[in-house]
Structure 1
């Protein structure tokens, strides 16, 4: 019997939306690994006491070539986008925004939110769909109970539940909760590579101990993932996975393209207020004198080249 290999991707702390904003733990993208399936971005934040800070306040900003996936554990966030969509993101309900050729949106924690806690993820749109229309999807998945815990499957299929939310490549995304001392052996698609983000608790995946904010990666070919909670508190995790994404991409700031020239064009169009991105209506930030939109940073002096992702095989030796 082959032993499942586990590669650990550690997080780095970055400010969200500017130096005065709250900090998040980012595990994707990293130099070590840029993608897990089509998942290309993973920010994990909280629990943050935002009653005494500015909380989340991200003014209108652009996206191309991707889908944003918002998932909360605590708190609430208002969402406005240039597709005319206005929503309140709440715990246990997934909100997925598809940029198509271009979109802009804002994200602000609500004034009654005291603690903000959740994840923000992006997926890459394949060539065949990246210039399609904007869209917005919302779904409240049914909680699935199993011996020792429960799950909320917000994208794809897992544990007998299939989310109706459309994706453009084969993907899975789920929140898992595991009681103290409990274990689960989850059947997974062997064509997928997977990542397990630890939000809270003391988790052992395939015999490897994991700490909160770490992302554990397993490559293709695995049919089951064996997870154990060896702590004294309920553990919570986010499981993501998908078929390896093999198209070359360039990811810079909030844009995903296929060439440096595309990124240059997207930036220039955003700065000029081009109709590619439309207009976000309804944004009200926490700071009355704050920015009404986020200008793009300057491009680097060097030419940006496509990201290269290692083979979909876990490398345990990379753990620091």
Structure 2
């Protein structure tokens, strides 16, 4: 997914991480194009990363049959994100309801469906589009996440796309988990990860409490996508994220009426990041070079760094103007 804000803020993270914590991270609404509004949980005003997870958008559930614009005129149906670039990251697409068509500049053409993981590795540069097709299911609900790639691989790993329709599951007493990436309770996903990373879709049955095993060296957060949870004195509800910190061997999560949430975690990311628009880099100069390459690709119909997306009918998304001042570091958390 693209960051479509006209004046995207620069975000820089470092590897600072506290021990166990319990902190509510409230999302902010961001409009993508003319048809989709998301809740952006990361970067957050208080915390910009959880492990290598550096961007989390939660959207829906949207009734696509009722799509109208602010004037009441029927508008675009569902998600309509034109080709846009990425660098030094992985995009992780996960749906709870609906369907999205994915195309990218390495020639991939796939459909994102509930319970199936689509993960795209940008390397030094990739472009992709995400579109709700006319015959897509009537409801759309999902999450789009970014993972920062470490220095050792971020520019040398070839751009790639991987899809997994059959992911491993873990059954707990009164709860069930699908392991998207990394390892949960000894069960490991086949998805590629370049730092110790965890992502799982977990459902707790009504009236049950889950004692979830964790890795003490990882920091964690949970994003509630259905119902609400009780975690100690914190009660995150729909669309809210609870940051759990690091240093825990387990945590108890209760759901009086049942709940579904994404578990996100990983080893604290020790490198400084510069995030702006759809690019991740390590300096202002890197971001400028990536933007220039993308704008040149649009003018030339593609280039070595950013080929165009085959099969997409329409124009790619131009990059916004850079800020007047150089992009400068900010801490990982306030």
Distance in 2 separating the partners of 1:88 and 1:220:
35
Q: Distance in 1 between matches of 2:196 and 2:169?
A: 22
Instruction: List per-residue Cα deviations over 1:93-118 (Å, max 9, x = no partner).
Output: 11100000000000011322210001
Partners of 1:294 and 1:227 in 2: how far apart?
A: 41
Structure 1 residue 21, shift from structure 2 partner: 2.1
Residue 243 of structure 2 is aligned with which of 203, 213, 217? 217
1:11 and 2:27 correspond = yes
Q: Report if aligned partners of 1:101, 1:134 keep a CA contact under 8 Å in 2.
A: yes
- Which position in structure 2 is the counterpart of 1:159? 185
Q: Counterparts of 1:84 and 1:241 in 2: how far apart (Å)? A: 31
Q: In the TM superposition, what are the counterparts of 1:231-310 in structure 2 within 5 Å?
A: 231=257, 234-273=258-297, 274-284=303-313, 291-310=314-333
The partner residue of 2:140 within 89, 112, 116 is 116
Name the SS of the counterpart of 1:262 in structure 2.
helix
1:97: which partner in 2? 120
* 8 Å contact from structure 2 (residues 20, 246) kept in 1: no
Aligned residue among 221, 238, 245 for 1:195: 221
Indicate the SS of the match to 1:129.
Answer: helix
User: For residues 184-234 of structure 1, what are the alpha-carbon distances to aligned partners after superposition, in whole Å with 9 as ceiling and x for unaligned?
Assistant: 101111000001001111210133211111110111111101100023xx3
Deviation at 1:244, TM superposition (A): 0.4
Residue deviations 1:282-307 (CA, integer Å, cap 9, x gap):
224xxxxxx51100001111211134
Cα distance in structure 1, aligned partners of 2:65 and 2:99: 13
Residue deviations 1:56-101 (CA, integer Å, cap 9, x gap):
0100000000000000000011110011111111000111000000
Instruction: Give me the whole-angstrom Cα distance separating, in 2, the residues matched to 1:92 and 1:176.
Output: 11
Consecutive unaligned residues of structure 1, counting only runs of 5 or more, are 285-290, 312-320
Matches within 5 A, 1:138-177: 138-139=163-164, 140-177=166-203
Secondary structure in 2 matching 1:6: strand
What is the TM-score normalised by the length of structure 1?
A: 0.90
Paired with 1:283 and 1:153, the residues of 2 have a C-alpha distance of: 31
Match of 1:38 in 2: 52
Count of residues paired in the alignment: 299
Would you identify which runs of 4 or more consecutive aligned residues in structure 1 move more than 4 Å? none
- The counterpart of 2:253, out of the listed 227, 232, 253, is 227
Q: Choose the corresponding residue for 1:136, options 157, 161, 178.
A: 161
Query: Is the partner of 1:263 in helix, strand or coil?
Result: helix
Q: How far off is 1:4 after superposition?
A: 5.0
Contact residue 202 and residue 235 of structure 1 kept, 8 A: yes
Partner residue in 2 for 1:57: 80
Q: Deviations over 1:156-197 (max 9, x none)?
A: 000231101111100000001011111110111100000100
CA RMSD of aligned residues (A): 1.4
5+ residue gaps, structure 2: 1-18, 68-75, 298-302
Q: Would you say the 8 A contact 1:249–1:307 is kept in 2?
A: no
Query: Which shows bigger deviation, 38-47 or 207-216?
Result: 207-216
- Say if 2:279 and 2:287, in contact at 8 Å, map to a contact too: yes
**1:185 match:** 211
